[in-house]
Every structure is written in C-alpha cells, then in structure tokens.
Structure 1
C-alpha cells in the first residue's frame, strides 16, 4: 500500500484535542481547518528544559534511509511507552515533492498528517517566504530605478529572487529588459525558497522583534565603493517582517498515532542549515518531557549544523543523537548497484559500514550519547542485521532494529527505551570549534573532524572575500557549509568513507541576518533541477477531490 493510501485511511483527531495533548489551551492556537493550527506568540514558557533528541543519518543514497520516518516512529514509540512527547520537523519544499526526493512527512505507518496538505501548500509559510523574498528584490530594483540614492552597484547585488520549485532555467537570468520604463538591465538569478536567507532567519528568530532585527541586518549588495548595503539602509525591514508575521508561528499537526507534531520551517541541509525552527523546538521543550527533532541529510550536514548553529539558538544541546541507517544504503556505500540491493551481501555491507562509523565518531565528538537505528526493510537478512549490530558494538554504541514503516511506533519501542536510557546519561556538550575562531579555522575543523578530509583549498574569489570579511568584522561568524549530501567529500560520486580528500571552497555568501556565512563548496547548487521523470508526472486529483500519486 502506498504512503498516501495509508494516510488517507486514518481520520485525524480534532486539532483542539491534539493541542490539549501537547499542553496547549484553545486560546493558544489558531485553527487552520480541523486538522491544522498555528501557535500564537509568545509561546508558553516553563522554567525547566526537558529532553531533546536529535535524529540524523548516514549520507543519503537512492536506496533510501528514512530519517523522517524514524523520527516520527520514535516519537510515536515514546508516546506508546508512556512518555510525554512532541515531534518537531521541517516543512516539505515543493521542489523535492514535485521532483525526485519526495516530501518530508514520513512513510508507511510512521507519518504526519494531513500529509497531502503538509506536502503541498500547508498553512502558506513557503508562499509567505517566497513573497517576502521577492518583495525585497522588487524594492531593491525599484530603488535603483528611482535614482539609486544609496549608490548600489548593480554588478554587486547579492540578493536573488526565489521560487519554491526546482527550476534550473532560472539559475541565471537577465532582468530589466524592455527599455527605461522596465528597470535597469542586470544579471540576476533565483534560489529555491528553502535556500533563501529569509528561510534561515525565520527558523532562527526568537520573536517578531528578533525577526525584524535579523531582516534589517541582511546584506543585499554593495555600493560602487564596495561598502555593504543592508535592508536597514533601504528602510523596508518592517514591510518584509510584516509579510512573515504568521509564517513565524509554528504549525501544529499530528502523527497517524495522534502524537502532537510541530512542522515548521524547511531549510535544506546541503545549502542551508537544515533544521526546523528554533521556536518549534523550544515549544516542544517547554511542553513535553521528550522532543524529537531531525536535521536534514547526513550527520555531516544537518547534524553538524544543528550542533554548531542551532544549539546556541535553541539554548539546549541534544541529550541523545540517533543515527539512522538502512542495510540497503550501507551496501550501496559498499559498492552494490541499486538493482542488486535485495540480495544478501555481507562483504559489501562491511565495506559500507565505514560510512556509518564515521558519522558515529563525528557525533560523539560533541560529547553526546549516540545510538544507531537500523531502519528495517523486508529484504534485510539476519546475517546482515547482526553484522551491523556487531560493528556498532565494537564502536561502543548500540544498534537497534526499528520497523517503523511497517508497524509505526510499535516497531520502535526498543529504540525508544534505549533513547530514554541515553537521555538519562550525563553528557557535556562541546562544539568542534571555538566561537571566536576565524572562518578558516572553523572550516578546517569541520572538514577534518566531521568530513574526514585532509585540507581545504580556496578559490581566488574566496580568498579575496576572506580578507574583506576580516576587515568588516565578519570573520568570526559561524559557518554554514554548502556541500553535496551524497558524500562526505564535495564529490557526490565518492561514496563510503573516503580519506585525505580536499574540500574546495569556491565562494562565500555573507548572511548576516541569519547570523552565519555560507561557504559554497564543489559544484553545489542553490537552485536544483527536476529529474527526467519528475514525481509530478504521477500525480492527479479526482473529480471528488481525492489526491493520488503524491507518494
């Protein structure tokens, strides 16, 4: 049975009842229909922080890892064993939904619902972000058209337009054609909305005041004498914040088992920081004994960014880290072709386990307890399962089998019990770099300690930017690495656990509103393209409104 068919068989509980389970009163939410709601700001605050669980994974492969599915299943399992639990997830982007990767609502009997709404327009957050992003772009070009009082250099505008769909034709564009009344011609381009700075700002802001402060700090470009121009200089920060006033509020939904879930914010982890909103995570920590959240892609991307970017903003480190792996994906990292993954292959599995081992070590460097979740597939054999468990035991961590796709929370109670034990262990979180290290030192630490690389090479442009950033006082900001998700290196074809490789930084993008600098590595793109057979080709809606083919 397909995911959407499973989801459509479950009747959501009224969102008011889900809110009550989460400890929210009726006057603390605004309903968006019967199965969705937004929290009102300010959020409820309690004096004590509860347990935070981070779910991450090995490097993703076409074989599938199921990180969201495990996150949701673990949340349901914690509820099933009697723990007060809230799940915090990112919102799906229409790009992957209509493209190749799919949505972000889980799968099988481990899903958040209503999955059709969440995977499509949901409560309109993505549209608000897109509109706000493009309003700022329009105001920049209008300022230039109307006399350019700020002396903005049209060749050095860094603010791009945005669209929440994969559209490779918009990566590089020319705008302003059509004569003097149609603007000033210049090169431009589009980012996918989830890679925009406004998305990062939304996910890191504490409240409306913080949102406005961050928006005003955005560097939109430079003057002709190379001085940065900010949104505050344009005097439009209030207007942009106004468009995001509702998008800033976390969304409340439920799992198939009716566990409360906050689904809010959706930055990609390969080109942005890859974590749901700080507000949603903090709301979970203030309302439930256990909050389960996930970071995008592998531990080298979302996991590292959660630890070094999100933890300071949330104000609490994870009490436990769950690293998700599938035997299928591990065999692919060990050299097995996709079409042959259904056949037992212990030697290849052993080769691929190096990728898992690397991620375990990378997360352990933060001083937090780690457990491996084996997301079970029907073709997994006893020999293969035991091979993973033995390998992890030699690393000093437990590997727990979880059948969340087939059984939901009931298939992850062992994992839940293990996570509870880990959360009770003493731990002392420590970042892999010092906050006052310069950008090069921070990048070197990430490359060597998290990726397993040997060195970093910078393009001529990147070297010039480092000097300019140091002069402007931007060189001590956190760094957000933009890198392929498929490999520990910046080469997507280099699977497993490569050693002694070089990471190539081609360019930096200062995102002062978000509070970090993005380092673009390899050939990573901020506007993806659709595959040869996009998922959109299989989607339809019947005359009575029933959706099919979504997943």
Structure 2
C-alpha cells in the first residue's frame, strides 16, 4: 500500500522547490524570509508586518462533519483545494496549523494532508519543524518555574498556592502528568502543592501566539494572563509577576509565520497549532493575513467539526483577523456518514444508501450551522474507492435539498486535479453577496452566550453548571470579564458533550464543569463533559510503527 510518507519522500527527492523560489512566487524577496534549511522559512518581522497592510484576497474556510474512526481528510481537501484553485489560475495560497507531537505519536496522525495533496517537507513539519512548539513549551514552563520561585522567595504578591491556575506543558500525550504534586523534598525544593500538565497546544500561550497581531501585542497579551489568585481571591497576572518581557523574548522567533509548499508548489503558511476541542483551533492570524496578502484566494481550515473549529473561527478567530470567510467548505465522507447512520466500522466498505440517509443528519446540522452565519456554503465529498455512484449521487441530492452543492473530490489520489470542479464553484461563490449574522454579541452575558452556542450550534435544550462552574461564573463577573467570547472545550466526536452520541442529537443538556478565563488570549474556556486538556496515548501508539535508518530515512510516519 502506498503511504503518505512514501509519496512525500518520492516527491521531495525529485520535485520540491527551494523555498526561495516559492517565496518569489508570492512577491517575497530574499530579505523577506529567514531560511531554515532549503525548504522551510520564516517571514521576517518586516515582511510579516507589511503583509498585514497589503490588499487582502478572498478567504475560504474549510471545516467538516464530526470526526469518526472512518476519517474525513479535512487537511487533505484543504491542500487539494488550494492546488486546484491554482490550476484554474486563481493564485491561491494556503494557511494551516502546525502538527502537535501528541497526535503524531498517538493515533490521529499529522496535519500535512495526505496522498498527492500534502504540504512538504512532510517529515520536518510533523516533527520539530522550525521549533515553534518547543519555544512555546519552554516559555510555558519558564513561567511555571518563575511562579514557583516567587512562592519560594517570599511570595510578595500573596499568591494562594491552592489557586494557581497556570499549569506546566508538554507537547506529547501523557496521562500520568494530568495531576502531579511538586515541591517535595524539603524547604530547599520549593513549596509543595498540586499541579498538572496541559498539552502544549492547549496552553494559553499557544492561543496568544495565534491571536496576536504583532510582537508588541503578544507581550501585552502575555502580561494580561491570570496566573492565579491571592488569598483574598484577587487575580494575579504575568505583568504583576514582572516577567512578561522575558516570556515574550522566548517567543520572539516563534511568532513569525512559517512558509513551506504543497507537492504542487502552492505557497503554504503553517503556523500555530491549537486544538479545536480544547482551544480555538485555527492557525495564527498572522499566517492567515500573510496568505491573504500574497494570494487572491487564501484557503484555511478550522480544527475538527464545524460545531467546534467552524463556530470558533466565526466567533473568535475571524473578528481577530478582521476578515470573515467569503465562503465555507464542509468536508464529509460517505463512509463517515454511514458510520453516523449506524453501520459498524468493519462494514463501511459495503454500499448502504439507507444508512447514508440516516447519517446525513450530522452533515445537515453542520450545513445549517454554517448557513446561519450568512456566508455561502458548499460540500466537498472526500471520495474513497469503495464509495458507490448511487451513494455519491444520493449525498449530492440530499445536499441540494438543503440548498448547497456537493462536489466529489479525489485529491488524495489525484492532487489538485481531483478538486477542479469544487475549485471552480468556490471561485464563484467567494464573490457572492453576503450578510454576516454573528452568533452572539460580546455584550451578552456569559450564560446567554453559552446557551446560544449550545442550543443553536449543538442542538441542546439546556445548559447545566456544576457548583464549581457557578463559582467560576461569579468570579468572572466580579472581575469584569463577562465581555469575552466563549471557547467551548467539548468532545469532537459528537455535537453533544457525550462522545458516543452520533448523528444530530437534540433536546440534551450540555454540562459545564468549570469556566476558565483566558484573559491574555481574550476568551473564556467552558470545560464541558469529560474533555481533558492533556490527552493520553492509545494501546498501540503510532510511535510503535515508526523508525529511522542509519541514513536518517524515516519509515512508519503515516
């Protein structure tokens, strides 16, 4: 079986262009980029700032149905669509998130697409890339060390060790670090207290990197981070600790967007990697603005389904970019919809139009959710060889009945050529008149915002708050943070907060267990159900199938 890695390695060896040539395609000079080897580069500060001021192209957001074990291929379609738009002469660019080592070594895989719709150099991007994840991890843990040192050295800020909010971070799934005790071993080893680790992509520093529009803005946001509370429950910030400058210094290079290419040489900006189930799930606004400033059509994606990444893009990311999507593409697969319709994973290769119709309700709900924002919506059917023509036609007919066109795409096997019809349609609808309808306003109360998201996007009837969440809510009101948007942390596998409930559930209760103000990022995280900010590894991690030979050639990386 041909793998994504084998395709990438074959093409990297013979066809990948020097990154200086890719930069020239979009008007970037040698002084505008800082090269990391032959095929990767970062934008200089001057280029990063200039591109934000240039005339912006059209923006296409790619999202999807809820993920299933059957797979959806959202990144693959995103890259294939960018390649296809270039094939029809639309001067497209792509903006994507950076992969986290957690899913790379775990179960989900990387974030560079697949088949002949990939970003390259695939191995570098999925592993250490240009060091952004390491810089974020180091900055996060430096702040944690400075907090504990402050406690050890007299605690002038009167921080209550029981109310420290800032956790340490690691960019790998490690369930053993979710809850730890630190400071053991006597007076010289610090103040004993409970602590824990988040995965790096869930850290507030990651969100800040992705939402800041300059180095100065990033430093100001870092200063606003609430690290904990005093004994009399007053918030303590990084600025109070006096280390905003030092933490920003550690991220001075990480804030620069990275430039690579697709296998078809489409310029691709890859920067930042927040998960959409536990964070806001979009690449940096600096990378998106760079794509908008260098292409006539920029294609970006939001993490997981439209109930998570799609909603958060509309309500958190797009306002920060200052550019709403001009069109939305929802990726679906026939086998994933049949899975939603009750077909077992082992039987998905067998044609089953009846199950497809039952499972369509999941895609239908996502279509309705994106349509309510007033932007044109289309569906990309990521076709697998086992899909029957009857199933493809049925899905197109179902989508047509809901007012959207659905286009079969075969970008894994055919690259951009497998999405030409989709690209031609997208190139038309990005110019259609739109009437944006925000989901809520920031002047709404926290309870109103959460109720609107839960009822409108998820299909819930009620929102229930635990005692801890109610205490968090009172604290948020007391400190004047109610004007922030809401970032819901929820399972990606269901529209509800129960991962096992497929399709389009309704009438359920969304359970909010606590509310975490991220004042630097500029939103409030609502933790729901049993979602975790530090995932665990599966019984058979992907790492067990990976290897490298004496010449440095990697095998088993997808």
Shorter chain as denominator, the TM-score bin is over 0.9
Query: C-alpha separation between the residues in 2 aligned to 1:455 and 1:308?
Result: 21
Matched, 1:303 2:310: yes
Which residue of structure 2 aligns with residue 20 of structure 1? 24
Please show how residues 7-46 of structure 1 align to structure 2 within 5 Å.
7-10=8-11, 11-42=15-46, 43=48, 44-45=50-51, 46=53
Is 1:516 aligned with 2:516?
Answer: no
1:103 correspondence with 2:114 = no
Shift in Å, 1:325: 0.1
Conserved? CA contact 2:222–2:238, under 8 Å: yes
Residue among 489, 505, 511 paired with 1:498: 505
Cα deviation 1:33-58 (Å, max 9, x = unaligned): 00000001142235532100000000
Distance 2:319 2:407 in 1: 30
User: SS at 2:27's partner residue?
Assistant: coil
1:283 aligned residue = 290
Q: Distance in 1 between matches of 2:471 and 2:94?
A: 43
* Contact 1:66-1:106 within 8 A present in 2 as well: yes
Aligned length: 551
Matched residue, 1:221:
228
User: What residue in structure 2 maps to residue 370 of structure 1?
Assistant: 377
Query: Which is further off, 482-491 or 448-457?
Result: 448-457
For residues 19 and 365 of structure 1, the distance between their equivalents in structure 2, rounded to whole angstroms, comes to 37
Deviation by residue 1:175-234 (Cα, 9 ceiling, x = unmatched) = 000110000100000000000000000000011100000000000000000000000000
Within 5 A, what are the aligned runs for 1:62-461? 62-461=69-468
Cα distance in 2 for partners of 1:486, 1:23 equals 41
What is the CA–CA distance in structure 2 between the aligned matches of 1:528 and 1:471, rounded to whole Å?
Answer: 32
CA contact (8 A) 2:472 2:516 kept: no
Distance 2:467 2:196 in 1: 22
Q: Does 1:3 align with 2:7?
A: no
Q: 1: CA distance between counterparts of 2:449 and 2:45?
A: 35
Q: Which moved more, 1:236-245 or 1:458-467?
A: 458-467
User: What TM-score comes out, normalization by structure 2 length?
Assistant: 0.98
> Any conservation in 2 of the 1:78–1:84 contact (CA below 8 Å)?
yes
Deviations 1:141-168 (A, max 9, x none): 0000000000100000010000000000
* Counterpart selection for 1:468 from 475, 478, 482: 475
Q: Deviations over 1:232-252 (max 9, x none)?
A: 000000000000000000000
Deviations 1:436-493 (Å, cap 9, x if unpaired)? 1111111111111111111100001111211221121111210100000000000000
Quote the offset at 1:59 in angstroms.
0.2
Contact 1:438/1:477 (CA < 8 Å) preserved in 2? no
Tell me if structure 2 keeps the 8 A contact 1:86–1:284: yes
What per-residue deviation string (whole Å, max 9, x for no partner) do you get for residues 405-452 of structure 1? 010101000000010111010012221101211111111111111111
Give the 3 Å change call, closer, same or farther, for CA 216–416 of structure 1 in structure 2: same
CA contact (8 A) 1:51 1:318 kept: yes
The more displaced of 467-476 and 232-241 is 467-476
Runs of 4+ in structure 1 off by over 3 angstroms are: none
Query: What SS does the aligned partner of 1:136 have?
Result: helix
TM-score of the superposed pair, with normalisation by structure 1: 0.99
Q: Secondary structure at the match of 2:457?
A: helix
Cα distance in 2 for residues equivalent to 1:216 and 1:299 = 32
What SS does the corresponding residue of 2:45 show, helix, strand or coil?
A: coil
Q: Does the CA contact (< 8 Å) of 1:204 and 1:313 recur in 2?
A: yes
CA RMSD, aligned part only? 0.7
Could you tell which deviates more after superposition, 435-444 or 229-238? 435-444
Report the CA distance between 1:12 and its aligned residue.
1.4
Mapped partners of 1:430, 1:235: distance in 2: 41
- Once residues 367 and 109 of structure 2 are traced to their aligned partners in structure 1, the CA distance between those partners, rounded to angstroms, is 26
Q: Deviations over 1:474-528 (max 9, x none)?
A: 1121010000000000000000011111100000111000000100000000000
Q: Distance in 2 between matches of 1:404 and 1:77?
A: 9
Q: C-alpha separation between the residues in 2 aligned to 1:271 and 1:489?
A: 15
Q: Find the residue that maps to 1:366 and give its secondary structure.
A: coil
**Structure 2: tracts of 5 or more residues without a match:** none
Shift of 1:352: 0.4
